[in-house]
Amino acid sequence: MNSQHLAILRQIQAAEPGRGQTSQRPEHLGTSRRWYGLTNAQRRRILLDFCAATKDLSFEDWLALLDSLYHGDSYEERCAPQTLLLKYPRYRRQLPLARLEAWLGGLNGWAEVDSTCQTVFSAADLLADWADWNALLTALAQDSNLNKQRAALVLLTAPISQSPDERLLTLSLRLISQLKGERDKRVSKAISWLLRKGIKQHRAAIAAYVEDNASSLPAIARRETLKKLETGKK
């Protein structure tokens, strides 16, 4: 275990469980890992304090810490990289995508996947290295691992809402078409999420896609996207 990882883990273990402040439970999070019962805010505070104290952290040390945390035994350790990815944007943009793919392969359940994939990587991140991101997301969607399939979709939810770039829309719809037959909730709910997020920048295209694919989309995706189109709400 990385020494900085160990210091973070000790703070996680020492924190007072937040069970009275959150409705989260391991079974709701889709994880069977050890769960210390911290709220997201508690975990984030620990990592923010770490970032404030290690402003001179090198890229190599940052990468080693992330790698160690992604091999942690607990849910909190596997979710901790979220803050480190967000607070070191320059390092995030240097991250080898093969390393990211390997980390994603070790995540289990929607909450662990979303901690790394939701609102962490921006449209600017993806478009600056589009060929490699396109290849990564395509590979994730083609993987038999349902957690990787969810990751492919969730990684696009922020970018598609941030940019009108047609490449983001085209890839999103291609991956949705590829995965729309999967009824596991990790995937079907992510399809709904991605379609709804696409409305902000690509309303007409999303509306046309849902109409053309109404009979083959997961029911939840069709219902929630139509409601979002009609009311502006989920």
- Rg of the chain in Å (alpha carbons): 18
The answer to whether position 72 is within a domain reads yes
Question: Which pTM was predicted?
Answer: 0.94
Counting residues of the chain whose pLDDT is more than 70, the rounded percentage is: 96
At 217 the pLDDT is 98
H-helix or E-strand spanning residue 144: none
pLDDT top residue among 78 and 26:
78
Q: What is the mean pLDDT of residues 174-192?
A: 97
Task: Look at the chain and report how many structural domains it folds into.
Answer: 2
One domain for residues 229 and 130: yes
The answer to whether position 169 is within a domain reads yes
Whether the predicted pLDDT of 38 surpasses 70:
yes
One domain for residues 129 and 225: yes
At 26 the pLDDT is 67
- Domain-ending residue, one of 95, 110, 134: 95
The answer to whether position 101 is within a domain reads no
**Residue 34's beta-bridge partner residues?**
74
Q: What is the mean pLDDT of residues 127-147?
A: 98
pLDDT digits (tens, 9 = 90+) for 84-132: 999 999 999 999 999 999 999 999 999 999 999 999 999 999 999 999 9
Residue 142: partners with Cβ closer than 8 Å, 6 or more residues away: 178
C-beta of residue 149 within 8 angstroms of C-beta of residue 140: yes
Rounded to the nearest integer, the mean pLDDT of the chain is 94
CA angle 95, 162, 83 (to 5 degrees): 40
Tell me the residue range of the domain where 162 lies. 122-234
The answer to whether position 110 is within a domain reads no
One domain for residues 179 and 222: yes
pLDDT digits (tens, 9 = 90+) for 204-232: 999 999 999 999 999 999 999 999 999 98
At 232 the pLDDT is 86
Alpha helices in 20-165 (DSSP H): 26-29, 40-53, 59-69, 75-79, 81-87, 89-92, 97-104, 110-117, 123-128, 130-142, 146-154, 157-162
Residue 20: partners with Cβ closer than 8 Å, 6 or more residues away: none
pLDDT digits (tens, 9 = 90+) for 10-34: 999 999 886 545 556 667 787 889 9
One domain for residues 80 and 183: no
- Domain-ending residue, one of 95, 112, 138: 95
CATH number at residue 158: 1.25.10.90
Q: Which residue has the tokens 């078409």?
A: 177
Helix (H, G, I), strand (E, B) or coil at 166: helix
The answer to whether position 135 is within a domain reads yes
